[in-house]
């Protein structure tokens, strides 16, 4: 998943929420063939997605003049729609082109969050694919900077592929993510570590989880119970090409508690260190630092 608990659900760049074309939100949205600024209204009260939840989104990033893996995020957005019984009104290539058009509306280098969003207007229980609409949002949103981040075990769990559309970036998943984040904050932590239904570590509330142990970068095995993030997949490739030992594994919560390093990966914040788990303090370590360095080099075209 895309965002960290520290940023999930907050208006980008600290802007307030507001109805209509709110000038406090520095954003452009492609809706029904034209660009609209601010925070425009989008759905009708009887839109199928409102009461049946058939809605998906994806997220890309623009920062420092680059848009790393934006094409892959657009492709996944189309796949997510299909997994929920929707049908994208646009090909991923068209979504990608429009997203770049939106980026160009801002001064060069502005940090942006790019969100294609698709939802159903008609249907009863199941959505009518032909009713699928799309909005492409480009919103000013600074990258989250590395800083103190504490985590704890969440009582909430990720569903199995048989019980939820886990391979889609579905809006419905974020209700559970929100519960995990709220629970962690109620205990004085920033984020929760979420298990799958088998009791293995899955991810943070809305970003992928990594640990380092004895010089090896380790991330939970992608068993279908959490979204196999695009940034997560990118880091695996970057580690491999840099000859840094990396593996996917089934992890227990104890494995995470005893790790040398803990860090996250996700589109919204990219790569961030965790500096405390329960009552144990940690320092950002060499594997995390190398991960962030490798990702920035990739983003700026210094390696593929």
Provide the CATH number for the domain around residue 132: 3.30.470.10
**Residue at 96 is within a domain:** yes
| Same-domain pairing of 136 and 266 | no
Q: What is the DSSP string of 282-293?
A: ----HHHHHHHH
**Residue at 194 is within a domain:** yes
| Same-domain pairing of 192 and 79 | no
**Residue at 16 is within a domain:** yes
| Same-domain pairing of 33 and 136 | yes
| Same-domain pairing of 47 and 130 | yes
- Distance between first and last Cα of the chain: 23
Q: Are strands 276-277 and 280-281 parallel, antiparallel or unpaired?
A: antiparallel
| Same-domain pairing of 154 and 136 | no
| Same-domain pairing of 108 and 24 | yes
User: Which of 89, 112, 140 is where one domain is finished?
Assistant: 140
Supply the pLDDT for residue 25. 85
| Same-domain pairing of 132 and 192 | no
Supply the pLDDT for residue 97. 98
Query: What domain count does the chain have?
Result: 2
Closest of 162, 156, 176 to residue 225, by C-alpha: 162
**Residue at 116 is within a domain:** yes
**Residue at 161 is within a domain:** yes
**pLDDT of the chain, 304 residues: tens digit per residue:** 434 333 333 333 333 333 344 556 899 999 999 999 999 999 999 999 999 999 999 999 999 999 999 999 999 999 999 999 999 999 999 999 999 999 999 999 999 999 999 999 999 999 999 999 999 999 999 999 999 999 999 999 999 999 999 999 999 999 999 999 999 999 999 999 999 999 999 999 999 999 999 999 999 999 999 999 999 999 999 999 999 999 999 999 999 999 999 999 999 999 999 999 999 999 999 999 999 999 999 999 976 5
| Same-domain pairing of 125 and 52 | yes
Distance from C-alpha of 12 to C-alpha of 37, rounded to nearest angstrom: 14
User: Which of 140, 171, 198 is where one domain is finished?
Assistant: 140
Vertex 175, ends 122 and 257: CA angle to 5°?
Answer: 150
Q: Which CATH number belongs to the domain containing residue 210 in this structure?
A: 3.20.10.10
| Same-domain pairing of 79 and 162 | no
| Same-domain pairing of 126 and 170 | no
| Same-domain pairing of 54 and 159 | no
| Same-domain pairing of 221 and 249 | yes
Supply the pLDDT for residue 113. 98
Range of the domain at 82: 12-140
Task: To the nearest 10°, report the CA torsion of 179, 185, 187, 193.
Answer: 60
Distance from C-alpha of 81 to C-alpha of 17, rounded to nearest angstrom: 27
pTM, entire model: 0.91
């Amino acid at each position: 998943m895309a965002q960290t608990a520290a940023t999930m659900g907050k208006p980008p760049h600290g802007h307030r929420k507001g109805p209509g074309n709110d000038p406090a939100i520095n954003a452009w949205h492609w809706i029904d063939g034209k660009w609209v600024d601010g925070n425009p209204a989008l759905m009708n009260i009887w839109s199928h997605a409102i009461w049946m939840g058939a809605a998906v989104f994806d997220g890309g990033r623009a920062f420092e003049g680059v848009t790393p893996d934006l094409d892959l995020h657009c492709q996944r957005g189309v796949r997510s729609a299909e997994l929920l019984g929707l049908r994208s009104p646009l090909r991923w290539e068209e979504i990608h082109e429009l997203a770049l058009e939106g980026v160009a509306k801002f001064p060069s280098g502005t940090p942006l969050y790019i969100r294609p969003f698709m939802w159903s207007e008609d249907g009863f229980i199941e959505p009518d694919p032909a009713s699928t609409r799309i909005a492409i949002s480009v919103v000013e949103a600074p990258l989250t900077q590395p800083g103190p981040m504490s985590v704890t075990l969440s009582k909430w769990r990720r569903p199995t592929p048989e019980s939820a559309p886990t391979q889609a970036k579905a809006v419905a998943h974020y209700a559970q993510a929100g519960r995990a984040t709220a629970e962690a904050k109620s205990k004085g932590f920033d984020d929760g570590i979420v298990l799958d239904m088998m009791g293995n570590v899955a991810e943070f509330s809305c970003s992928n989880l990594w640990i380092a142990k004895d010089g090896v970068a380790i991330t939970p095995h992608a068993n279908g119970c959490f979204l196999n993030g695009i940034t997560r997949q990118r880091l695996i490739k970057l580690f491999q090409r840099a000859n840094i030992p990396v593996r996917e594994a089934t992890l227990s919560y104890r494995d995470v508690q005893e790790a040398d390093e803990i860090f996250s990966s996700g589109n919204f914040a990219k790569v961030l260190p965790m500096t405390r788990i329960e009552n144990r303090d940690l320092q950002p370590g060499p594997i995390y630092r190398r991960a962030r360095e490798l990702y920035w080099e990739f983003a700026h075209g210094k390696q593929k």
